[in-house]
Amino acid sequence: MVCNCKIQLMRPITLFFAALAAFIAPALLFAVDDAPPNKPQYGEWGFDMAGADFSIQPGVDFFRYANGTWLDKTQIPPDKPAYSLRLAMTDLTEQRLHELMESFSTEQKNKGGNPATLEDKVGAFYRSFMDDARIEQVGAQAIQSELDDVKKAKTRDDLAALMGRTATDFDSSLFNYGIEVDLKDPSRYAFYLTQAGLGLPDRDYYLKPDFAAQKTTYGKYVATLLRLVNWPEPDARARDVVDFEMKIAEASWTKAQQRDLVATYNPMSVDELERFTPGFAWKKFLTDAQMPKLTRVIVAEKSAFPKLGEVYAKAPLQTIQAWHAFHIADNSAPYLSKPFCDAYFELHSKTLSGQKEEQVRWKRAITAVSGGDFGVGDRFGTFGTMGFGVGQLYTAKYFPPEAKAKIESLVANLKAAYRARIEKLDWMGDATKKEALKKLDTYTIKVGYPDHPRDYSKLAIDPNDLIGNVKRCAQADWDFYTGSFDGLVDKSRWGMTPQTNDAYNGSLRDIVFPAGILQPPIFDANADPAINYGAAGGVIGHELTHGFDDQGRKIDASGALRDWWTPKDAATFKARAQVLAAQYSKFEPLPGVHVNGELTLGENIADLGGLTLALAAYRESLQGMPAPVLDGFTGDERVILGWAQAWRGKVSDDYVRKQVVSDPHSPRQFRVIGPTRNVDVWYDAFQVKPDAKEYVAPDKRVRIW
């Protein structure tokens, strides 16, 4: 994973475009319970030499050169679709959260009564998920009121109104929505609408023969859930649902098209929206979305909306009702009885991601309460959680304030190094440079946890009502966003919880590094500085570069969507970016499966910028002194090895197939190979010659930032 600078729509659209995190020097506090160990976690100086395979020539496969032995020896755990050093970090956070929630649960149970404190509410929510006996007893009755509402709906307008509840209930919609900063007026919030309606990860699953088997399995899954909720004629209605979604897929934009910030910014009044997409009851939809007075929206996939409206208008009422019922069951399945959970796992985790076994219940409970998408890629873990409340409790124990201050200071050093890089660019004119530097200066670095905690005082949690807890948390979350909709933008707000093992570059020109990412191998207080520059510094550079990737460059210093480039510089940038896209489109993670260079372009530009900046910043940190040589490796080599080790990991084949069509991030081996082969220092450091497989001639290497 790595972040994306595309706007992060506040719930229910969960675009938490992820990355890594923070530049940290050896003197920094270690963000765990106790003082750091006497030696790095990996190897003698921060790199796990035993996990490398130095029998491979660096120019043949640098990913295996740095990670090959680990790849050969490591097995993907049966309860995960992937495993990596990053996921090992998540495992540690998960263990800590487990201990916290078990203690909170026990304390709240002993107290009895209605949970009042934040600790008690987290403990009661956790206990409601762990009470599988009660959940089995309730079964599908837990969502009966939602299903009854669908059955009572007499018209398409009634069903459109139910679609408006996606922020606060288990309903789904043809159109997702969220609140985020207005890209043409960054001081205000806007209401964004995007295409939705599909149960599979991407339109390609419906339209390409490569995914025929997955689509067949999906159809059986739809029938299974409809049967579990006692829906009439489940097999026939399941076929109708899949056919309905086929038409939605045909009308939908591709993931690559959705990345274009200019094309997806289409403001219109609600009255214009109704005329633009006839056949859909927008005002009823917005009323149930709790935005009845809304007058203006921003439509993303503009040409898709009329087509989706037409698909909806032509579909039989019983098809739309069955579609509603299925998605209610699908969205709520992780919180329901065993037959629902088993079916959910078989499709989402096993068939679509290659995960062999379901996670134990306490791990799923942590996801439900704390949030976090652990590779499944669906709504579970992104909806109806107490994520920021859990983060407040987590960081109080595991992330001291003094660490936050030191990281903020050190991240600023990377920002200064990026300024120097921009100033020295040989392909950019002075006018564009001036605007780029102005934008860089506006970036705010947020580290560890938000300055202002969320208020959960009015949230009611019942240890005997799991489904109700999820819905009440979702309502509290949506109230948080709608409550500030008419006010000025709050620049201190976070879009990612502190315990998350990721980072992001947001629309506020803020780069956020949560506490959960500040662990080895991204940061190790005892590692050689070159390793920390390659891993932590590289991902800071990645995040900074996102503000200037193929989409981020369209945002100016005020945060507005504006073209601030001279035509000549814009043309040069686009030409260089297209060369990079073409390079990545040739990468083949599986036979016949190619990376989509256009879909992944922003992340690939950011990776290239991150590694380039890490090397430059490390050299600057030496202040003219020669870098030490450790175990025969120079400073430059160790920076690049630090970057490569940060991406050490492996994934299932099914996960790769899903990733290349639905994820803007390249498979991890190409996050190492792709940038290194375009960096001159790599060739010099590892003596890569013209006859090497990954050699790129100097005049063909992509140099952007």
Q: How far apart are the first and last CA of the chain?
A: 21
Please determine, for residue 292, whether its predicted confidence score (pLDDT) is greater than 70.
Answer: yes
Which residue stretches of 74-211 are H helix? 85-111, 118-130, 132-138, 144-152, 156-163, 204-207
| Residue 296 DSSP symbol | E
Q: Give the 3-state DSSP-derived string for 389-458, with helices as H, strands as E and coil as C.
A: HHHHHHHHHHCCHHHHHHHHHHHHHHHHHHHHHHHCCCCCCHHHHHHHHHHHHHCEEEEECCCCCCCCCC
d(CA 541, CA 531): 14
- CB neighbours of residue 659 within 10 Å: 25
Predicted local confidence at residue 410, as pLDDT: 65
Please determine, for residue 376, whether its predicted confidence score (pLDDT) is greater than 80.
Answer: no
Q: Which two tokens stand for residue 600?
A: 């992944």
pLDDT top residue among 28 and 619: 619
pLDDT-wise least confident of 219-223, 324-328, 518-522? 518-522
Predicted local confidence at residue 29, as pLDDT: 32
Please determine, for residue 553, whether its predicted confidence score (pLDDT) is greater than 50.
Answer: yes
d(CA 547, CA 534): 20
| Residue 309 DSSP symbol | H
What is the overall mean pLDDT for the chain?
92
**Residue holding tokens 């049966």?**
78
CA 692 to chain centre: 35
CA 368 to chain centre: 17
Strands 510-514 and 444-448 come out as parallel
CB 385 within 8 A of CB 371: yes
Percentage of the chain lying above the pLDDT 70 cut: 93
| Residue 561 DSSP symbol | B
**Residue holding tokens 């379901």?**
358
State the number of CA atoms in the 13 A half-sphere of 306 facing the CB.
5
How do residues 456-486 score in pLDDT, each as one tens digit?
A: 999 999 999 999 999 999 999 999 999 999 9
User: Which string of DSSP letters, residue by residue, matches 168-179?
Assistant: TSS---SEEEEE
CB 35 within 8 A of CB 525: no
Summarize the confidence of residues 182-197 as an average pLDDT: 97
Name the CA dihedral angle for 403, 409, 412, 414, rounded to a multiple of 10 degrees. -60
* Residues facing 297 on adjacent strands: 268
d(CA 53, CA 63): 9
Please determine, for residue 298, whether its predicted confidence score (pLDDT) is greater than 70.
Answer: yes
Q: What angle do CA 541, 80, 587 make, to 5 degrees?
A: 50
Report the interhelical angle of 144-152 vs 156-163 (nearest 10°): 150
Q: Which two tokens stand for residue 467?
A: 């489904």
How do residues 113-127 score in pLDDT, each as one tens digit?
A: 999 999 999 999 999
Whole-Å CA distances, 700 to 568, 575, 580: 20, 12, 10
Strands 185-195 and 175-182 come out as antiparallel
* Residues facing 269 on adjacent strands: 296
Nearest by Cα to 474 from 8, 13, 9, 11: 11
How do residues 339-361 score in pLDDT, each as one tens digit?
A: 999 999 999 999 999 999 999 99
d(CA 576, CA 586): 16
How do residues 8-53 score in pLDDT, each as one tens digit?
A: 444 333 322 222 222 223 233 333 344 345 789 999 999 999 999 9
d(CA 437, CA 557): 9
d(CA 68, CA 70): 5
Summarize the confidence of residues 98-119 as an average pLDDT: 96
Whole-Å CA distances, 645 to 74, 295, 406, 631, 638: 14, 50, 24, 17, 10
d(CA 370, CA 499): 8
Q: Is the peptide bond before 667 cis (omega within 30 degrees of 0)?
A: no
d(CA 257, CA 262): 11
pLDDT-wise least confident of 224-233, 396-405, 500-509? 396-405
SS3 200: coil
pTM metric for this prediction: 0.91
